[in-house]
Structure 1
């Protein structure tokens, strides 16, 4: 792989001309995202419980509601990237927060009025997912403009720590709220979290990334239609082998990770004989490990660079898959808990490193489109991996399917190791 210079760095004149980010911008962004993530985790529990307990939804209906939340990523992901490059990301985030607050808040109101139905919940889940796509792309694109280059890894690690914290605390809060109020009533807190997050976004400085209508770094105008913007983003990815590798590493590892996640509870229950309480305690180990990994990832990147940190994360993820597949009843809870710890610790190492590396390798004027394309590729692999793992379980049994996923992760680790180390060489310059 040919070494290339970091296209985001530019010349010394360019760097000097561009003012640094205002102090406090990232703090506001971090606070906004932390509050929003906690509310989102509550919704991930309360919304399906609303469908099951309040609307008595069937299995197929539950599948449709779940799919409605993921579908916007595939349908609107690339469009959200082009939009983010053309518009003020802060304003996009603000609009998305307000709209999601109204949509989520409508669910308990409709439930209280006895007007909530499965079709209505389906449409609301899809609409919430649409605004979430635009928000996620905008905030990932905005991060590099709120911190200096040398603080990018630290900023992403803090955001990942907030995600891990929300995943650990959110479901517990959701369970308490559902018991104290109702499944639909618990969603009121998520609506409030979006409103508070919007207030934080209001404090972020308005001057932002170059618009797509602004001049290209080479002097060529990039004012064009949406189709041209999308084509430019995809063309950059097609020509930039290192960015391709970053996206491919995330998508392929997610493909096999989704398979492990889809089957592990079933395997723990039927093959290992673990009780729901034991499974819950073991799964909590994943959240604890994710918090530890989030606290350490910036230091690891500082010492070894993003690509080496990705490889460490992939090695841990692969090891966890092997341990899970090899676990028998003799070491049931120990093996299952060890696998969860490996999964949790590896997640921030992989996520933070890949996002930071992608942000470093991508020019500012096209970052939104590249972020969006990456999200489409990576997130689309999740339902595909779950589906393929289910088919493999039918043909090979649960343990056989887990071994297939573990071997798949091993192949990802082996095939991406040398190319990723070459990216490290290019980054070190």
Structure 2
């Protein structure tokens, strides 16, 4: 994965303290804020302008579908193309689409068809941008700094998507909804220009397109399934994503009914979770160096399970805040280390395909978790769903522990 030790350019550009990584992190931060504003403003505008729950649901589906339909071929194409060029095109495309949305909203012509089209196109471009960014992250950080690099990316994403973006959307939407999307477009424009400042020396190896796109997608899937380390990480991610999605779906209803929280208090729970993730993004690298990455990954799952269980077993507002902080902390630790291990086990020439497969597997099971949570809660209770999910996450940690411990000896990509 690394170049020869004598390469002076390599030593100059690699690492989280290097200028290339800092510039890449700046573009990631900008697009995270843009995604946070869009994630808050687009469904809100859909609800306000249509007053139709089916329309809101349709727009939400339009944002998710590209990750199931386009992510895999996007990853294969990213492995063929130059990452910097791909990011310039993806961010520029998202800026143009968002600017068109600004015009439609400002003129009152943003009907459901426009909102659906924009949601689909923005997420489609994001599948390319995400894979290309992950490839550059590995190359810019170098193998030794992957935990620190992913910690900084998780922290920036948490601030942008879960805190700064929604807060900015709330303020701008009350003034004029079109300003939300104008800010999003500006952030994408900045990212498209700033990525050009990342030096071309950190571009990863390309495959050259020897196979068809479908052949390369198949090659990536076979590699993931054939690698015990990647199979363990991706499989665990899929199961945990399904269970946490079920908890997230039912937790708001649980907070209102079982805990008696006022609707205005519910967002504070999400802030606590974001705070936990931010703390994890800063301390996980040090914990990994001290105790070993696999040990911390197993502990992260147990911490996540403990946070879920506390939500139901201790029905108090203070305990709910603490449980969300603990859940965010556990999820943050897991996200940092699972990403670092996935990247470490993947050859540079296949980073796009493996990243896309990882996203499909993790995010593809989230709708299933959300879909089964409601009927199960109806048959039992929201609290029962939360406790069962906590027990299953803990069981996953125990069952997968031997596989995760094998990551230390797994062959590197």
* TM-score bucket (shorter structure): over 0.9
Find 2:43's aligned residue among 35, 45, 48. Answer: 48
Pairing 1:82-97 to 2, within 5 Å after superposition: 82-97=76-91
Find 2:344's aligned residue among 342, 345, 360. Answer: 360
Find 1:172's aligned residue among 157, 164, 167. Answer: 167
The residue that corresponds to 1:249 in the other structure is: 236
CA 30–376 in structure 1, closer or farther in 2 if over 3 Å, else same: same
The residue that corresponds to 1:143 in the other structure is: 137
Say whether residues 1:335 and 2:319 are aligned partners: yes
Pairing 1:372-411 to 2, within 5 Å after superposition: 372-411=356-395
Say whether residues 1:117 and 2:111 are aligned partners: yes
Q: Contact 2:277–2:333 (CA<8 Å) still a contact in 1?
A: no
The residue that corresponds to 1:5 in the other structure is: none
Q: Contact 1:49–1:183 (CA<8 Å) still a contact in 2?
A: no
Find 1:415's aligned residue among 379, 387, 399. Answer: 399
The 3-state SS of whatever aligns with 1:407 is helix
Deviation at 1:81, TM superposition (A): 1.2
Q: Contact 2:305–2:394 (CA<8 Å) still a contact in 1?
A: yes
The residue that corresponds to 1:74 in the other structure is: 68
Find 2:206's aligned residue among 189, 211, 215. Answer: 211
The 3-state SS of whatever aligns with 1:146 is helix
Q: Contact 2:311–2:319 (CA<8 Å) still a contact in 1?
A: yes
> Mean alpha-carbon deviation: is it higher for 289-298 or for 352-361?
289-298
Q: Following the alignment from structure 2 to structure 1, what is the Cα–Cα distance between the partners of residues 267 and 75? A: 37
Q: With the length of structure 1 as denominator, give the TM-score of the two structures.
A: 0.90
Q: Contact 1:289–1:344 (CA<8 Å) still a contact in 2?
A: yes
The residue that corresponds to 2:192 in the other structure is: 198
Deviation at 1:371, TM superposition (A): 1.0
Find 2:151's aligned residue among 154, 157, 173. Answer: 157
CA RMSD of aligned residues (A): 1.8
Find 1:284's aligned residue among 271, 277, 282. Answer: 271
Aligned residues: 405
Q: Following the alignment from structure 2 to structure 1, what is the Cα–Cα distance between the partners of residues 226 and 408? A: 19
Q: Following the alignment from structure 1 to structure 2, what is the Cα–Cα distance between the partners of residues 18 and 427? A: 27
Q: Contact 1:43–1:187 (CA<8 Å) still a contact in 2?
A: yes
- Gapped regions of structure 2 (runs ≥ 5): none
The residue that corresponds to 1:65 in the other structure is: 59
Deviation at 1:18, TM superposition (A): 9.6
Q: Following the alignment from structure 2 to structure 1, what is the Cα–Cα distance between the partners of residues 7 and 248? A: 48
**1:13-64: CA deviations, max 9, x gaps?**
85656951634111110000101101211111111111112x2241111111
Find 1:128's aligned residue among 122, 127, 131. Answer: 122
Q: Contact 2:99–2:182 (CA<8 Å) still a contact in 1?
A: yes
Q: Contact 1:306–1:354 (CA<8 Å) still a contact in 2?
A: no
Q: Contact 1:78–1:372 (CA<8 Å) still a contact in 2?
A: yes
Q: Contact 2:301–2:330 (CA<8 Å) still a contact in 1?
A: yes
Structure 1 residue runs of 4 or more that deviate by more than 3 Å after TM superposition: 13-19, 425-428
Pairing 1:294-309 to 2, within 5 Å after superposition: 294-309=281-296
Find 2:27's aligned residue among 22, 28, 32. Answer: 32
Deviation at 1:365, TM superposition (A): 1.4
The 3-state SS of whatever aligns with 2:50 is coil
Deviation at 1:334, TM superposition (A): 2.0
The 3-state SS of whatever aligns with 2:368 is helix
Q: Following the alignment from structure 2 to structure 1, what is the Cα–Cα distance between the partners of residues 358 and 270? A: 28
